[in-house]
Structure 1
Amino acid sequence: MTIKIFSQLNLSLRRPEFWAYSSWLDIVTRYRRTRLGLVWLLAPVAVFMLITGPLYARMFNRDLASYMIHLGMGYAVWRLMVMVLNDSVSAFRSNKSFIQDGNTRLTDYTLKSIAKSLFYFAFSMIGMLAVMIWSPAVSAPAILTLFISIPIVLINLFWVGYSLSILGARLPDLGEVLNTILMVGFLFTPIIWEGNRYPADSLGGVVVRLNPAFHMLEIVREPLFGRMPPQSSIAYVALLTLSGWLLAIFLCRRYSRYVPIWI
Structure 2
Amino acid sequence: MPNLFTDLRESLRRPEFWMYSSWLDIITRYRRTRLGLIWIIIPTAVFVAAIGQVYSTVMGHDPEFYLPYLAIGFVLFRFMTQCLSESGSILRSHKPFIMDGRVRMTDYVLRSIAKAFFFFVCAFVVIAAAVAWSPQTSVVNLLTVLATFPLIMLNSFWLSSCMSMVGARHADSSEMVTTVMRFGMLLTPILWVGDRFPPGTFGWWAVHLNPAYHLITLVRNPILGEPVPSASIWFVAVMTVLGWLLAAVVYRRYARFVPLWI
TM-score class, shorter: over 0.9
Separation in structure 2 between the aligned mates of residue 3 and residue 99 of structure 1, nearest angstrom: 14
Q: Is the 8 A contact 1:3 1:249 kept in 2?
A: no
Deviates more, 1:136-145 or 1:241-250: 136-145
In structure 1, give the amino acid aligned to 2:120. Answer: F
- 1:85 correspondence with 2:81: no
Mapping for residues 223-238 of structure 1, pairs under 5 Å: 223-238=222-237
Mapping for residues 4-19 of structure 1, pairs under 5 Å: 4-19=3-18
In structure 2, give the amino acid aligned to 1:25. Answer: L
Separation in structure 1 between the aligned mates of residue 75 and residue 103 of structure 2, nearest angstrom: 32
Aligned-pair CA distance for 1:140:
3.2
Q: Is the 8 A contact 2:2 2:251 kept in 1?
A: no
In structure 1, give the amino acid aligned to 2:106. Answer: T
Q: Deviations over 1:103-139 (max 9, x none)?
A: 1111000000000011111001112212212222222
Separation in structure 1 between the aligned mates of residue 57 and residue 227 of structure 2, nearest angstrom: 27
Separation in structure 1 between the aligned mates of residue 95 and residue 82 of structure 2, nearest angstrom: 20
TM-score (norm 1): 0.96
- 1:220 correspondence with 2:219: yes
Mapping for residues 130-145 of structure 1, pairs under 5 Å: 130-145=129-144
Q: How large is the Cα RMSD of the aligned pairs?
A: 1.4
TM-score (norm 2): 0.97
Partner of 2:112: 113
Aligned-pair CA distance for 1:204:
0.8
Partner of 1:167: 166
Separation in structure 1 between the aligned mates of residue 186 and residue 125 of structure 2, nearest angstrom: 26
Partner of 2:195: 196
Q: Is the 8 A contact 1:222 1:229 kept in 2?
A: yes
Separation in structure 2 between the aligned mates of residue 168 and residue 3 of structure 1, nearest angstrom: 18
Aligned-pair CA distance for 1:229:
1.0
- In structure 1, the residue corresponding to 2:37 is in which secondary structure? helix
Mapping for residues 41-190 of structure 1, pairs under 5 Å: 41-190=40-189
Partner of 2:33: 34
Deviating 4+ runs (over 6 angstroms): none
In structure 1, give the amino acid aligned to 2:45. Answer: A
Q: Deviations over 1:15-46 (max 9, x none)?
A: 11111111011001000101111110101210
Q: Is the 8 A contact 2:81 2:178 kept in 1?
A: no
Aligned residues: 262
Aligned-pair CA distance for 1:173:
2.3
Identity of aligned residues (%): 45
Aligned-pair CA distance for 1:228:
2.0
Separation in structure 1 between the aligned mates of residue 132 and residue 182 of structure 2, nearest angstrom: 32
Q: Is the 8 A contact 1:166 1:255 kept in 2?
A: yes
Runs of 5+ in structure 2 lacking a partner? none
